[in-house]
Chain A
Amino acid sequence: MTAPTASSSLSAPRPAGPWRRAGRRLARDRAAMVALAVLLAVTAACLLAPVYARDVAHTDPFTSNVAGSVTIDGRSVDIMQPNDNPLHLGLSPIGPTWHASADLLGADSQGRDLAARLLYGGRTSLLISFCAAALCIVLAAIVGIVAGYAGGIVDAVLSRIMDIMWAVPVYLFAISLSIVTVSQGLKLGPVAIASDNLLIPICIIALVYVPYAARPVRGRVMSLRRAEFVTAARALGVPGYRIVLRDILPNVTGTLVVLAPLMMALAMMAESALSFLSIGVQAPGASWGTIIEDGEGLIYTRPMVAIAPGLAIVIVVLALNVLGDGMRDALDVRDSGRERA
């Protein structure tokens, strides 16, 4: 009697786990897949920035080249070109040449290859937004879980702190923190971080967005705290930290994962804004925000310098939002809750 049962039990297909099913659902979402492909393509292109600069454009995108020239169709062309006017007033950097080896998208006011800077700037922008989103999610998970699970005075204190942070406009908050740190760097006891260290914008952006991510986590934890499996674990005398790690955390992971691309999109826009205001990424580093700032002074003559990084930000942020929507649909929190319960 037991053998056939065991046999049928072994041969029966194991039900797919919630993550696998979410992955399948996400894979069926065409918009999300296109967004993911776009993100991977942009990331890959940015990672290949040194290869492009060295082997294709043959340029150092961090060195001024105003007195330099490029060769187009066998002709040497000055990178900074006199404006065509009777008074010979002013010079403009070369515009898009559409030759990969000769300032493909043109040059900026320092005569630097815009395409190469765009790729290098993308590395910085993606790195900052990814790290800031990851740090924000970790901090938000800690705050949300502690507040939601502990309740009482702990919840009240943490929630009021989050409310105060929420009450300050996020960009104003980030700008205020950046202005202080960009001039003096950051000193936390024995740890000193230089003002041009990328950790500074990463930490600032992560910090200002914590309330936005912590709130939904707290709400989810509060509902989970009253769930039967948590009550049962408590009744069995399971320690609180084990309940959090084994029962609560796995159930809020879906929420955190859904929040990740959205937080990354927000972080990218915040980084661009801070860098545009010269209080984010510091020279000689480049990000899409700093390149837009470079392009501000060329908006009448070489709008491409501002348009190209602006377009890159739009594409990446749009892709992150579409991917985030797809992940939210795929990782429906109520489904996962039912499955676990």
Chain B
Amino acid sequence: MGDGQTLGSPHRGGTLRLTASSSGGTLDPQINYTSEYAQLFTVLYDGLLNFRKADDRTSDEVVPDLAETVPQPEDGGRTWRFTLRQGVRFSTGQEVTVADVAASIRRLFRVGSPTAGSFYGAIVGADICLRDPAHCTLAGGLKVDPATREVVFHLSQPDAEFPQKLAFPHASILPANMPDHDLGNVPAPTTGPYRFISYDPDRGAVLERNPFFHVWSADAQPDGYADHIRYDFGLPDEAAVTAVENGQYDWMFDMKPLDRLGELGARHTRQVHLRSLYGFYYVPMNVNIPPFNNRMARQAVNRALDRRAMTILYGGAAVAGPLCTMVPPGISGALDECAHTVGADPDHPAPSWREADLEGARRLVTASGTAGQKVTVVVQNTAVEMSMGVWLRNMLQAIGYDASVKPLAHSVQLGYIQNTSNHVQISLSDWFADYPSASNFLDDLFGCENFHPGTDNSINIAGYCNKEAQAAMDAAKQETDPARAAELWAQAGRIITRDSPAAPAIRINYIDLVSSRLGNYFYTDLYHMIFSQVWIQ
């Protein structure tokens, strides 16, 4: 089935049953920013480009999807010229046209997509669209020609990662007549192998085959095996594990509870899949309020953070490992060194993390003059993160602070810690790459443009802005030579490591649990299990 077709396969058919503890928010693929729905959208929607659907490292590569090819940039990286495929239809039967492409890219700004500025802000005219979304035209930045099916993007500055950004679900192509507001619970017509039959955020979604789908690129969007996909919401994680073990569901979205890992590894070995993930846990520290407006205080936390303990709390070496830098290993630009461990410092980093340096941390806290200050760690109230939060509180007390933990519900914690009005000093958060690039970690989390005081949409949680680091990151984003870009990212990474606006804690792996009847487990780094490619008969 290398051509992406499933017709005639003995594995074609059946209903794939999925479960999650809750829905993932809006169904608008240009707005939703959750991994839960990105995984679903990848079998529903297509962009001009896509990430390869391959069960290996090549899944990080960008391949043409609705565009015929991945073009080479022109004009020193400022112009990208695409040709739209012919004959692709939406699930309504309507053919995808360049007008749909133009409207979809403009809609990104009109609906206030969370990545409109950070991903697509380089398009000429984007600055006007960001200021006045309702009248966004992207004049001069986006040109289409219906006769030749050509779509041309003009950028105000080179962007080496523009193809990855166009492959991200926010750049999905929707019909031109989609409203300029969040679709909420109303699904948009799809181009992928499935379409919605029904959706209720309290109960679940039911998908069926898109009758207008045909395989135009096996790499970007292969056909699906299951006839139907039923995604139920509301089952808590513990119950979901039992349900998948018993074959009542084929797959569960939520993290597997720590107390069930032993049982899963012992009794359901063949149903468990351990895969790598471009993600980590880290400890952002607010650089604008005491005590972490003092660099020595932040460095103290970095030195005291016992990454081994955090690994244990997350589930052990099989699912996590110590992390010393803010770009996880395996990504170009990641630093292969550790500045904050016993016997090392930012000027003399060790090759890897050795152990926590509590004595050194205490000295730094004393020298900073912040000892004895009240510090509150804000964490999610899930079991794993509460455990880590309790550990962090103990660590902060051990180095001289009067520490406490504030657990918040999963649904509110991320917004709460981003908003400067809440005066969060230190928190625990996870972060996953939208695509494998150092920019997804350094620029997103520490870029000056991602600090928006007083809003819940300020992913630079630390409120960090260093002109020298920003200049290196800006240069790296425009650099088309991968080696030079990696050097620039490493340069920015070292500045950030020295300033310590956050303490990297652990890199994590992905644990998937599937039913015993599910075959052809198919995983990509960015979207995890691909629903269209697994067999349930």
Contact = CB atoms under 8 A, between A and B. Distances in A.
Given A66-B312, A300-B259, A300-B260, A85 B394 contact: no
Contact of A87 (B269, B381, B387): B269
A110 B394 CA distance: 10
Interface residues on B, range: 35 or more
B393 A87 contact: no
Q: Chain B: interface secondary structure?
A: helix
Contacts of B272: 87, 89
Interface residues of A, number: 28
Contacts of B393: 283-284
A88 B316 contact: yes
Given A83-B261, A298-B259, A91 B390 contact: no
Given A66-B312, A83-B266, A109 B261 contact: no
A82 B269 contact: no
Contact of A86 (B269, B394, B511): B269
A90 interface: yes
Nearest to A83: B262
A92 B387 contact: no
A248 B403 CA distance: 51
Given A88-B318, A90-B265, A196-B404, A64 B259 contact: no
A63 B259 CA distance: 21
Nearest to A68: B309
A88 to B, nearest CB: 4
B264 interface: yes
Interface string B241-268: 0000000000000000111111111100
A80 interface: yes
B283 to A, nearest CB: 15
Interface of A: 62-64, 66-67, 80, 82-92, 109-110, 196, 278, 283-284, 297-301
A110 B387 contact: yes
B398 interface: yes
Given A87-B269, A88-B316, A110-B387, A67 B309 contact: yes
Given A89-B319, A284-B393, A301-B262, A67 B274 contact: no
Contacts of A80: 312
Interface of B: 257-266, 269, 272, 274, 306, 308-309, 312-313, 315-319, 381, 383, 387, 390-391, 393-395, 398, 404-405, 407, 511
Q: Chain A: interface secondary structure?
A: loop
15 contacts: A66-B391, A67-B309, A85-B265, A85-B269, A86-B269, A87-B269, A88-B316, A89-B261, A89-B318, A92-B262, A109-B313, A109-B383, A110-B391, A284-B394, A298-B259
Contacts of B312: 66-67, 80, 91
Nearest to B382: A297
Nearest to A60: B394
A91 B384 CA distance: 12
Given A63-B394, A278-B407, A283-B393, A86 B265 contact: yes
B380 to A, nearest CB: 13
A278 B274 CA distance: 33
B316 A90 contact: yes
B265 A89 contact: yes
Nearest to A300: B259
A90 B315 contact: yes
Most buried by B among A82, A196, A298, A299: A82
Given A63-B394, A63-B398, A64-B394, 4 more contacts: A67-B309, A83-B262, A87-B274, A284-B394
A88 B318 CA distance: 6
